[in-house]
Amino acid sequence: MTDDFRRSPEFRDFLAQASRRDFLRIAGLGGVAAFLASCSTKGAAIKASDTALPSSSGPSPTGGTSGSTTPSTATTPPSNDKSDVDKLVVFSNWPLYIDVDAKNESLHPTLAAFTKSTGVKVTYTEDVNDNDQFFGKVKPQLSAGQDTKRDIIVLTDWMAARMIRLNWVQKFDPANVPNAKNLRAALKSPPWDPDRSHTLPWATGLTGIATNTKVTGGKTVTSMTQLLTDKSLKGKVTCLTEMRDTVGLIMLEMGKDPANFTDADYTAALDMLQTAVSSGQIRQFTGNEYAQALGKGSIAAAVAWSGDVIQLQAANKDIKFTAPDSGLMIWSDNMMIPNQAQHKKNAEMLINYYYDPKVAAMLAASVNYICPVEGAQEAMKSIDKTLATNPLIFPDDATLAKTHVFMGLSATQETTYSTQFTTVTGS
């Protein structure tokens, strides 16, 4: 019956009408486009004038900490701090980045101790997997001046710099974070937050080269030139998708300063990387996943993060971490309080708590990245003597002198450089 209907003249008429209507609909779509033309896509930055908007502040009690006390916070939007009535803090962090109870992996002893001493409950979520993805996740709220339902977020230096540039995070009230004085001197004034008024490092790491000596036959890879050109490593090398780590190390190898370079230097570094990609030397560009492959021996050497290497070394003696003579990259993941956070004071209390050397040592003992807190090395001696002398957790000044940071980039530079880099990585 349906077939007969389809072949019927009525159905053909219907089709003809439909296509006329399609035409009209497309014309209508043109109207939509014209409408959109007048709208354009809004920028992500919060301007100082935007922040003066009344932000649905009901009769909520101001905890005496949000902005009003310090004139310097006048540019940040009010956060409707509910800290005193709602004893809670919502903490978004990277996976496997905190101490866990030996019996129950969902318990975190340092957080439990904080709740016990202050009465403030912590909702701890491991939902930061990638700086760029997380940026995409919180962008709709933060660019519209809305609450992200998070009180503390942890992001890497360059993304933290972007958050500050976009005016998306709040200044700490110094009175609530007295322990900030314990921050290691080398980390005290990054160019993008010179007085550490918006950020404090959760953990710091080094980027260098890791080798699985079982795969290389005892040989350790000691320079980027060797990593990118040694024929015996062909197809068994990975680099990081984090542009600043991979390109930074190559620039150091070429004798350039990653903190101060020209477009030509950047292109030269990418050329070296492109040659290694085209020759099949580099097997993949990865995030954390390289660690598993390196441990299993699928790859021989990689651009690697220090903390991952320590964790691998615990189970596998063949894994070596080398600091190339030309230098290492250093980075931190920073705690920040996003605009409109509902528990700013509680967040500051928690940040302050982790800057107590004893707590910092407990954290570093299980996180294995560089501890940014002065005095934690002393405290570590009573927890684990070997970790207290591990140069990848408590590096000496000589090692720190070899470390470099990547230059701060503008939005346009960020787009141009990362497009060039992702093109080399195959996409």
Partner 1 sequence: MELPKGRARRGSRSLPYVLLSPGMLWLVIFFLVPMATLAALSLQTGDYEQGFTLTWNWHIYSEMWTRYGHHFIRSFSYAFVATVAALVIAYPLAYAIAFKAGRWKNLLLVLVIAPFFTSFLVRTLAWQAILADNGWVTSTLRSLHFPMQDGRLLNTSFAVICGLTYNFLPFMVLPLYASLERIDPRVVEAASDLYARPITAFRRVTFPLSLPGVVAGTLLTFIPAAGDYVNATFLGSPQDQMVGNVVDKQFLVSNDYPIASALSMTMLVAILILVSLYIRRAGTEEIV
Residue 386's CB: how many other CB atoms inside 10 A? 8
Report 203-242 residues binding partner 1 (CB under 8 A).
Answer: 234-235
Near partner 1 in 90-149, by CB under 8 A: 132-133, 135-136
Pull the structure tokens for residue 45.
């930055």
Tell me the β-bridge partners of 154. Answer: 335
Nearer to partner 1, 271 or 325 (CB): 271
CA distance 417 to 425: 12
CA distances from residue 136 to 40, 94, 129, 216, 224 in whole angstroms, order as listed:
19, 16, 12, 40, 32
Q: Does 283 bind partner 1 (CB under 8 A)?
A: yes
Give the residue, chosen from 277, 288, 316, 358, that forms a contact with partner 1 under the rule CB under 8 A: 277
Task: For the CB of residue 289, give the shortest distance to partner 1 in the complex, in Å.
Answer: 8
Label residue 80 exposed, middle or buried (CB < 10 Å: 0-12, 13-18, 19+). Answer: buried
**Site for partner 1 (CB under 8 A): which residue of 1, 19, 24, 42?**
42
**Do 115 and 149 contact (CB within 8 A), yes or no?**
no
175 binds partner 1 (CB under 8 A): no
Shorter beta-carbon distance to partner 1: residue 139 or 219: 139
Residue 153 interacting with partner 1 (CB under 8 A) = no
Beta-carbon count within 10 A of 397 CB: 8
Restricting to residues 235-274, name those near partner 1 by CB under 8 A.
Answer: 235
Answer for which of 40, 49, 262, 386 binds partner 1 (CB under 8 A) is 40
The yes or no reply on residue 68 touching partner 1 (CB under 8 A) is: no
Q: Which of 89, 155, 166, 209 binds partner 1 (CB under 8 A)?
A: 166
114: exposed, middle or buried (Cβ count in 10 Å: 0-12, 13-18, 19+): buried
Contact between 6 and partner 1 by CB under 8 A: the answer reads yes
**Main-chain dihedrals φ then ψ at residue 41, nearest 5 degrees:** -95, 125
Residues near partner 1 (CB under 8 A) are 3, 6, 29, 32-33, 36-37, 40-45, 132-133, 135-136, 165-166, 234-235, 277, 280, 282-285, 296-298, 411-412, 414-415, 418-419, 422-427
